[in-house]
Amino acid sequence: MVDEPGNGSARLKALLSRMPPVVAMGVAVERYVAGKLVLAAPLSVNVNDKGSAFGGSLVSLMTVAGWGLVTLQLHAAGLEGAEVYVADSQVRYLAPLRSDLQAESQLAQGQDWSRFLSTFRQRGRARIELSMQVPLPDGQPATEMRARYAAFAS
């Protein structure tokens, strides 16, 4: 795993281990570098009747990757008590995936972490849009997702 020092991924691993559906999917933090979070899950426990990745697993892994990225950013800013939720999302299934799943999450174009964090500090809540994808082995997207996440002070 490639990791930025002190970035909170150990904390994220601990949070993921307390979510039974995430544990059942076999989700692991693969890397968190340069504002991009990558989660992985084995195909063997996320397979459908056709031998490809189950659509629900694909969207779940991307949703958790986005949630995790927002959680890590809040943690890095010293905002420990925030609650993060997915507000809405749009998903496109582009091709069947017949290998292990890997969801990549990053800021959507035009979004800004500093504005999100500033709004959160001022109002006790904020929203941000992220872009996620699960690539095929050749790097082309199998599934893409755009989602807005909301954070609330607890």
The fraction of the chain above a pLDDT of 90, given in percent, is 90
Q: Once rounded to an integer, what is the mean pLDDT over residues 16-31?
A: 95
Residue 26, Ramachandran bin (φ over 0: left; ψ between -120 and 50: alpha; else beta): left
Domain covering 2-153 assigned CATH 1.10.10.60 in the classification: no
Query: Comparing 11-20, 92-101, 104-113, which segment has the lowest mean pLDDT?
Result: 11-20
Q: Look at residue 5 and tell me whether its pLDDT is greater than 70.
A: no
- List the domain boundaries for the chain: 2-153
DSSP string, 140-153: SEEEEEEEEEEEEE
Q: How many CB atoms lie within 10 A of CB 82?
A: 20
Which pLDDT does position 7 carry in this prediction? Answer: 60
Q: Is the separation of the CB atoms in 61 and 129 below 8 Å?
A: no
Q: Whole-prediction pTM value?
A: 0.93
Q: For the chain, how far is it from start to end, CA to CA, in angstroms?
A: 31
What is the side-by-side strand order in the sheet with 141-153?
Answer: 2-3, 28-33, 36-41, 101-107, 125-135, 141-153, 82-93
Q: Once rounded to an integer, what is the mean pLDDT over residues 77-104?
A: 96
How would you class 137 by CB atoms within 10 Å of its CB: exposed for 0-12, middle for 13-18, buried for 19 or more? exposed
Confidence class for position 2, pLDDT limits 50, 70, 90: very low
Q: Look at residue 26 and tell me whether its pLDDT is greater than 90.
A: yes
